[in-house]
């Protein structure tokens, strides 16, 4: 089929008068249809807008939380999975941890020692005021009470790190009933992004179990040519037309990437975040506010290079005319260009290789 199409193009182009750079390519309506050439009206963009920049949707670092096992133990059960919405304080998993029971017993012992130290201090303070004991003995009792209080605070903090609330710690002290059940809860309202825990799994301390993320607002990591760095400023409007999302530019990188020599821009999505997913690749537009050149957004399929010049083919009454352009920014699918066009101009967006072949006088498609 490709060979037949190429042969047809060769026959048609052979009968077309050879054109040269800057001259029209005369074509009849039948020839345009046979060569598969289609045209679209130019889409102007606002002055100072940089469209078609590649970007990736990411979650801001301050909205990501890793839930790890605070103590060694065995997972008894998990209650959520990847993609589940969770509320702050919601139980994610439960573990059986002998280390938790040991830590609780340590708290109870320290609480008893703290109580005895306080009672000794109160007795020695009264005796010291009556002149029965020396000041050194009173100071010794006071130091022992302070040390016991510090030990008690340390034990409470260890249990807080293990996931116990202040209410649970108070209940433990009043009931003297240590347990080995360790409950893991969510620190925020968010979504479970990763889950590495499963029932029956034995864990050491500090092993990641869940990754929880808050998906609003989302952020963007944008790659931009170095030539546009001077025209950009923090606070500029960032939009993602294909997904109806928008936001603002929050940071402009200072270093270049080694592979493509672009700078990293960061942005925040303030509207339309629900239409996007973390990790998604998109094309964004940024308003630079300093570029006053008239700009046009065209598909990459419309662009040709002839004799060192970059051109597009404008539709005329008798065919097409090669018009020089300047590419400002080139994206994956479309590019931002400047040139002398009319607002209602139509350019060829497919079948462009046949037009280029005619201009070069080679009698066949590129």
pLDDT at 211 over 70: yes
Domain end residue (candidates: 237, 268, 287):
287
Are 129 and 244 part of one and the same domain? no
Largest interatomic CA distance in the chain: 125
Are 154 and 29 part of one and the same domain? no
Contacts of 138 (CB under 8 A, 6+ apart): 124, 125, 127, 128
Are 346 and 229 part of one and the same domain? no
Examine residue 122 and state whether it is found in any structural domain, yes or no. yes
Domain count for the chain? 4
DSSP of 125-136, one letter per residue? HHHHHTTSS-HH
DSSP of 182-222, one letter per residue? EEEE-SSSEEEEEE---TT-EE-TT-EEEEEE--SSEEEEE
What the block records as the tokens of 151 is: 């030990």
Are 25 and 55 part of one and the same domain? no
List, for residues 7-17, the tens digit of each pLDDT value. Answer: 444 444 444 44
What the block records as the tokens of 196 is: 């590495």
Are 207 and 236 part of one and the same domain? no
pLDDT at 366 over 60: no
Examine residue 365 and state whether it is found in any structural domain, yes or no. no
Sheet with 334-338, side-by-side order of all strands: 43-45, 295-299, 334-338, 326-330
Tokens 């590019």 locate to 335
| Maximum mean pLDDT: which of 6-15, 164-173, 227-236, 285-294 | 164-173
pTM > 0.85: yes or no:
no
Confidence of residue 48 (pLDDT cuts 50, 70, 90): low
pLDDT at res. 228: 75
Are 103 and 175 part of one and the same domain? yes
Are 208 and 73 part of one and the same domain? yes
Domain end residue (candidates: 265, 287, 309):
287
Cα distance between residue 25 and residue 38, in whole Å = 15
The residues pairing with 80 across neighbouring beta strands, listed in sequence order, are: none
Examine residue 344 and state whether it is found in any structural domain, yes or no. yes
Are 263 and 159 part of one and the same domain? no
Examine residue 135 and state whether it is found in any structural domain, yes or no. yes
Are 116 and 236 part of one and the same domain? no
Residue 304 C-beta-side C-alpha neighbours within 13 Å: 26
Examine residue 353 and state whether it is found in any structural domain, yes or no. yes
Number of other CB atoms surrounding residue 86 within 10 Å: 20
pLDDT at 167 over 70: yes
Domain end residue (candidates: 194, 214, 234):
214
pLDDT at 187 over 60: yes
CATH number at residue 89: 2.40.50.100
pLDDT at res. 140: 95
For residue 2, what is the enclosing H or E element?
A: helix 2-14
List, for residues 257-282, the tens digit of each pLDDT value. Answer: 767 778 999 999 999 999 999 999 99
Range of the domain at 55: 51-59+216-287
Cβ–Cβ < 8 Å for 65, 212: yes
Residue 259 C-beta-side C-alpha neighbours within 13 Å: 3
Examine residue 306 and state whether it is found in any structural domain, yes or no. yes
List, for residues 96-153, the tens digit of each pLDDT value. Answer: 999 999 999 999 999 999 999 999 999 999 999 999 999 999 999 999 999 999 999 9
Are 7 and 142 part of one and the same domain? no
């Amino acid at each position: 089929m490709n060979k037949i199409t190429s042969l047809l193009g060769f026959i048609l182009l052979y009968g077309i008068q050879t054109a040269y750079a800057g001259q029209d390519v005369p074509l009849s309506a039948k020839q345009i249809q046979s060569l598969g050439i289609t045209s679209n009206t130019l889409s102007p963009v606002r002055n100072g807008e940089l469209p078609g920049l590649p970007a990736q949707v990411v979650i801001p670092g301050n909205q990501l939380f890793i839930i790890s096992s605070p103590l060694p133990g065995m997972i008894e059960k998990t209650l959520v999975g990847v993609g589940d919405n969770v509320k702050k304080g919601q139980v994610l998993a439960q573990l059986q941890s002998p280390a938790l029971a040991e830590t609780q017993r340590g708290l109870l012992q320290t609480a008893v020692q703290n109580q005895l130290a306080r009672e000794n201090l109160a007795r020695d303070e009264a005796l010291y005021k009556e002149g029965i004991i020396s000041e050194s003995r009173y100071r010794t009792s006071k130091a022992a009470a302070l040390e016991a209080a510090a030990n008690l605070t340390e034990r409470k903090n260890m249990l807080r790190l293990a996931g116990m609330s202040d209410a649970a710690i108070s209940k433990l002290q009043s009931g003297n009933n240590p347990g080995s059940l360790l409950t893991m809860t969510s620190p925020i309202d968010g979504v479970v992004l990763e889950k590495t825990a499963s029932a029956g799994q034995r864990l050491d301390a500090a092993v990641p179990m869940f990754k929880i993320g808050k998906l609003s607002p989302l952020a963007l990591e944008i790659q931009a040519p170095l030539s546009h760095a001077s025209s950009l400023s923090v606070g500029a409007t960032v939009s993602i037309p294909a997904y109806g999302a928008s936001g603002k530019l929050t940071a402009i990188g200072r270093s270049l990437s080694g592979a493509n020599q672009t700078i990293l821009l960061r942005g925040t999505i303030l509207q339309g975040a629900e239409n996007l997913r973390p990790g998604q690749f998109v094309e964004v537009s940024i308003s630079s506010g300093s570029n006053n050149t008239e700009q046009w957004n065209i598909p990459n399929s419309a662009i040709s290079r002839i004799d060192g010049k970059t051109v597009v083919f404008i539709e005329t009454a008798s065919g097409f005319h090669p018009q020089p352009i300047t590419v400002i920014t080139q994206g994956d699918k479309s590019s931002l260009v400047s040139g002398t066009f009319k607002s209602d101009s139509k350019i060829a967006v497919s079948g462009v290789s046949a037009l280029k072949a005619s201009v070069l006088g080679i009698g066949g498609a590129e």
